[in-house]
A and B are shown apart, each in its own frame.
Chain A
Amino acid sequence: MQASAVEIQKVNKHFGPFHALKDVDLSIPPGRVTCLIGPSGSGKSTLLRCINFLEPYDSGEIRIDGRLMGYDAPGRKMGGRALREMRRSIGMVFQQFNLWPHMTARENVAEGLIRVRGMSRADAATRAAAALAKVGLADKMDNHPSRLSGGQQQRVAIARAIAMEPRLMLFDEPTSALDPELVGEVLSVMKTLASEGMTMVVVTHEMGFAAHVADRVAFMERGELVAADTPAAILHQPQDPRIQSFLRTYHERNSF
């Protein structure tokens, strides 16, 4: 069996008295799409943010390609340089896009290449243009984010992440802030990425995407990882009553 791209073991996270992640175990296979689903506040986003250590976890282990994330040894946080080096190979896409409003689309994508990868401005501009073309925004390169629709902004954000040539992509509810008619263009870019064999972890409320694109679906509730299995097993023949109840609510909300 192939080694995991991300191996999560017994991870715990507290926000003050609130126990946000409870002994979470999950392995993310390389080259596959893993969707994290579950009700709001179940810890999906927190778990995702622990993977690139935007949120430090309290105990347990998260290993990226075998290397412990965020700590040199249990209880001893790694230095800034080592942490940045690990983050370079992990792309992240946020619910609110988080594009930098004072830069054009192309500058948003080129900034990391220049500052983090040390590329020349000219090379970075070329690479940025290629990444934007890949997400279908070749003609919007010189626009500032305020001149782009939500769907276009999110595609720029994806281009910004993939231009860094990450080995792993994290998506934190990438379509939740979008108008319904703009969701499709973002999901289609993500499907293309998936078909190219990118390792992806996607926190989502898009059950359609989870059903059709994911290779594995993990269900979380109240900080616990309830089950992780194939989309069919989780979404069509769920055994756990918590999953059944979540899906029932989902179907009720989406029927009219």
Chain B
Amino acid sequence: MFSIPVFLESLVPLFWAARYTLLISVGGIALGLVIGTLICAARLSSSRALRNFGAVWVSFLRGVPLLVQLLVFYYSLPLIGLDVPAMFAAVVTVGICASAYISEIWRGAINALPRGQAEAAIAIGMTPRDVWGRVILPQAVTMSLPALINELILLVKASSLVSVVGILEITRASQAQAATTFRPLEVYLAAACIYLLINLCLAALGRWLEHRTTV
């Protein structure tokens, strides 16, 4: 029999564990945005070496599962004498992995802009900085928002993978709880509800941002 009290009781500790989930996904997307923007700039640059570097970065990080990246990163750090907290390793790995996808999201949006948008600014005598800052990027950001929110939601779900390096986020916490209560269905259903709640909030945030930026 499904027990509603057990379900409700397991929500509380899982909510507490959700702070790690959020920290990893928000930290990951923030780091991913910074690195992803740099990688996108490299891929669009006039230097062949930078373009190649960007292309290799994207294909490697997109081509290897995040779970494997996490394990490789986590176990390779002690080799070079670094003893970093698991949390740090998790955020960095998730951020680096996200950067590959985010750079492609940027690149797609920038390439989708009609060439004439930049030409109108160049013809008027704007500096490259203003052409990018005033004409290209504001439009690229608006166009990318749905894809970026999508990426953030994917990261929330992918953060369950960092349980392998011992972080007690929602998934690992629910596994532990299921093992002690012997009520896996209630516990995992509670975990599902919390993931859903987080992602519904993110989707709402995305709609709000889109509404604010579209004309």
Instruction: Please report A residues at the B interface, Cβ cutoff 8 Å.
Output: 52, 54, 80, 84-85, 87-88, 90-92, 94, 96, 98-102, 111-112, 115-116, 144, 146, 157, 160-161, 164
Q: Which of chain B's residues 145-195 have a Cβ closer than 8 Å to chain A?
A: none
A85 touches B139 (CB 8 A): no
B140 CB to nearest chain A CB (Å)? 10
Q: Which of A52, A100, A116, A157 contacts B117 (CB 8 A)?
A: A100
A112 touches B119 (CB 8 A): no
A90 touches B120 (CB 8 A): no
**A94-B119, A115-B134 given; A88·B125 CB < 8 A:** yes
CA gap between A164 and B122 in the complex, in Å? 13
Q: Which of chain B's residues 61-119 have a Cβ closer than 8 Å to chain A?
A: 114, 116-117, 119
B116 touches A164 (CB 8 A): no
B138 touches A87 (CB 8 A): no
Q: How would you classify the secondary structure of chain B's contact residues: helix, strand, loop or mixed?
A: helix
Interface size on B, residues (CB 8 A): 20
A172 CB to nearest chain B CB (Å)? 10
**A94-B119, A102-B138 given; A84·B127 CB < 8 A:** yes
Q: Does B199 lie at the interface of the complex (its beta carbon under 8 Å from any beta carbon of A)?
A: no
B215 touches A115 (CB 8 A): no
A98 touches B125 (CB 8 A): no
Q: Does B4 lie at the interface of the complex (its beta carbon under 8 Å from any beta carbon of A)?
A: no
Q: Does B126 lie at the interface of the complex (its beta carbon under 8 Å from any beta carbon of A)?
A: yes
Q: Does B13 lie at the interface of the complex (its beta carbon under 8 Å from any beta carbon of A)?
A: no
CA gap between A226 and B127 in the complex, in Å? 37
CA gap between A70 and B181 in the complex, in Å? 77
- Chain A residues within an 8 Å CB radius of B121: 100, 112
A52 touches B123 (CB 8 A): yes
- Chain A residues within an 8 Å CB radius of B119: 54, 94, 98
The residue in chain A whose Cβ has the minimal distance to the Cβ of B136 is A100
Of B122, B123, B134, the most chain A CB neighbours within 10 A belong to: B123
Q: Does B130 lie at the interface of the complex (its beta carbon under 8 Å from any beta carbon of A)?
A: yes
CA gap between A115 and B127 in the complex, in Å? 8
A84 touches B125 (CB 8 A): yes
A100 touches B135 (CB 8 A): yes
